Structure 1
Amino acid sequence: MEEHPGLHARKARPVAEVGGHVQLLASQWSKLKRYVEDGRHSIDNKVQENATRPFCVGRRNWLFADTVAGANASANLYSLLQTCKVNSIDDYRYLRSLFVALPNARTADDYAALLPWRIDLAAN
């Protein structure tokens, strides 16, 4: 275990609140110092938390789905829309193209061509 040279976690009393915090800091030091060593790392995870917030709100709304099939349909649609968002695809244009092309899909390749990153948005 790599420790910060100035932290003496072993000398701090683990039952004391401060001692527990110092021990935690010392045990996680190699991970904590990464953000200082590489400027691409953020000190917090606010960006990631904000990205997952809409999903958590949607998950709470799924509690009110009438049936299991309805909840699965909602989850699948929400997953497609989040995939569009992550890949910078206009979700409205994607859904328009999807709903036009979906009735003509027959094979696994036809369905695979309708994934957000493969569909031809210019066709519709």
Structure 2
Amino acid sequence: MAWLKNQKARVLPKSSFGQAIYYCLGQWDKLVAFLQDGRLELDNNRSERSIKPFVIGRKNWLFANTQRGAKASAITYSIIETAKENGLNPFHYLIYLFEKLPNLDLQDKDALDQLLPWSETLPPICRMNN
């Protein structure tokens, strides 16, 4: 950062190099956060890839011409893509959810947690290799 601040004083702000320095200084906190937390990804390519099927198929989603339809579509895609990111087979995971959710004990605070895509208690049939 010291080098960037030193260069900032030596270059024209509107030059390409000056703009790069100003940009880098403006993004410094994000760069530091990325370097300090190894779980963070440098770009959002994975999330972009996960919404690509939705963007490509949007003409197939004509039923989403209402807020309720759009919300249902967003929830469905969110569940499916989160399942994929957690190594689950979306089809088997959805079947499992449809079987378990109607009988869920809402008084049991851990019951819903056990159905989440990252839960270790999910049956093997939900895993991607099945």
TM > 0.5: yes
Give 1:94 shift.
Answer: 0.8
Of 45, 50, 53, 1:49 maps to 45
CA RMSD after TM alignment = 4.1
Q: Deviations over 1:31-76 (max 9, x none)?
A: 65888x88x689952xx31333322552672974132211111111
Give 3-state SS (helix, strand or coil) of 1:13's partner: coil
Q: Distance in 1 between matches of 2:51 and 2:93?
A: 19
Partner of 1:74: 73
Provide runs of 4+ in structure 1 moved above 4 Å: 26-35, 40-44, 118-122
Structure with higher Rg: it is 1
* AA at the equivalent of 1:15: K
Q: Compared with structure 1, are the counterparts of its residues 41 and 13 closer, same or farther at alpha carbon in structure 2 (3 Å cutoff)?
A: farther
Structure 1 regions of 5+ residues with no counterpart? none
Partner of 1:101: 100
Structure 2 regions of 5+ residues with no counterpart? 126-130
Q: Distance in 1 between matches of 2:10 and 2:90?
A: 57
Residues 1-124 of structure 1 mapped to structure 2, 5 A cutoff: 2-4=1-3, 8-25=7-24, 44-45=42-43, 48-55=44-51, 57-58=53-54, 61=58, 64=62, 65-102=64-101, 104-105=102-103, 107-108=105-106, 112=112, 113-116=114-117, 117=119, 119-120=122-123
TM-score by length of structure 2 reads 0.58
Q: Deviations over 1:65-121 (max 9, x none)?
A: 13221111111111111221122122111112223334x426425872544335546
Q: Contact (CA 8 Å) 1:3, 1:26: kept in 2 or not? A: no
